[in-house]
């Protein structure tokens, strides 16, 4: 019996002896947790301590792809919440990975994810015959290629992008530095922008920032948000889209393509105490190869 199965058995005994739940409820919880245990095995996660928020989100996406309704996915999340709360109580875990996932009345709130086709329509929306259009196309490509937060995107400096190797350096929450691979599409658009458009936008001014707006100042978060809404409208997409939608889509498309979960977490810059040590052994070259293989525009 695996450690995960043993912990599930402990929880089932607790529900029977301590909580005195009905047999039908116990059976429902048992089936939900057995399904989750099978998912962990498919992800090659043998130790329940390796389960973090990203794993649970991936599981909820898996359930959605399996055809489960929002109500059914909400029930699974409630089951997992109870399970992990029990493991914390028993001091079998130090951190509850399910606690931070929202459970609205309408069902499980999964991140807004655009399809690859919708992403491509937005990426193709800017008019690249104009300097601002070339800048916007480069920004959109980089946002999707690296899964950046909008604050990270507008803060990118010239020295942070290595087009030859194919990496962008960024500073996330807590000023933590990370290197993220970027594919050929983003590299091409950035290169085109740097050759002509950036100089035209600067008008003899100097700026350390990659993406410049009026009077050589860096693009603001609010300014980019407005641009994204404009291009979504041009692309004929009527759903609510934010810069974070690109970040969620970046992660979802990589995971659905088969990319390693730990590598995706590292690219996103999610710093979870329980997985920090795992991150350290993922080599930069390995990340680049994963990006090239699994990213739709790698």
The catalytic residue positions are 149, 173, 244, 247, 270, 279
Residue written as tokens 């609510």?
A: 240
Cα(96)–Cα(144) distance, rounded to whole angstroms? 30
Cα(114)–Cα(131) distance, rounded to whole angstroms? 27
Please give the backbone phi and psi of residue 162, each rounded to the nearest 5 degrees, phi first: -110, 100
The encoded tokens of residue 162 equal: 């290595």
> Which of 295, 122, 93, 99 minimizes the C-alpha distance to 224?
122
Q: Are 218 and 102 in contact (CB under 8 A)?
A: no
The encoded tokens of residue 150 equal: 């909008």
Q: Are 219 and 211 in contact (CB under 8 A)?
A: yes
How is residue 220 annotated by DSSP? P
Q: In sequence order, which residues have a C-beta less than 8 Å from that of residue 230 and are 6 or more positions away?
A: none
């Amino acid at each position: 019996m695996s450690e995960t199965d043993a912990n599930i058995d402990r929880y089932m005994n607790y529900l029977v002896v301590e909580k005195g739940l009905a047999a039908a409820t116990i059976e429902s919880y048992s089936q939900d947790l057995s399904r989750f245990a099978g998912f962990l095995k498919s992800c090659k996660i043998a130790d329940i301590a390796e389960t973090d928020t990203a794993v649970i989100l991936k599981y909820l996406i898996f359930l959605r792809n399996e055809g489960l309704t929002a109500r059914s996915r909400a029930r699974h999340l409630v089951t997992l919440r109870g399970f992990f709360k029990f493991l914390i109580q028993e001091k079998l875990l130090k951190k509850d990975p399910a606690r931070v996932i929202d459970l609205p009345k309408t069902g499980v709130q999964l991140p807004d994810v655009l399809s690859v086709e919708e992403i491509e329509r937005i990426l193709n929306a800017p008019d690249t015959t104009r300097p601002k259009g070339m800048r916007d196309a480069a920004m959109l490509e980089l946002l999707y290629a690296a899964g950046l937060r909008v604050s990270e995107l507008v803060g990118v400096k010239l020295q942070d992008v290595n087009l030859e190797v194919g990496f962008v350096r960024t500073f996330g929450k807590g000023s933590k530095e990370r290197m993220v691979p970027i594919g050929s599409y983003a590299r091409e658009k950035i290169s085109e922008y740097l050759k002509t458009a950036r100089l035209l936008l600067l008008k003899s001014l100097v700026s350390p920032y990659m993406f410049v707006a009026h009077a050589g100042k860096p693009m603001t978060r609010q300014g980019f948000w407005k641009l994204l809404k404009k291009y979504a409208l041009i692309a004929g997409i009527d759903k609510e889209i934010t810069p974070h939608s690109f970040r969620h889509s970046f992660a979802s498309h990589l995971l659905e393509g088969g990319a390693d979960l730990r590598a995706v977490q590292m690219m996103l810059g999610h710093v979870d105490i329980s997985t920090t040590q795992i991150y350290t052994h993922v080599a930069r070259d390995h990340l680049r190869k994963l990006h090239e293989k699994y990213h739709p525009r790698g």
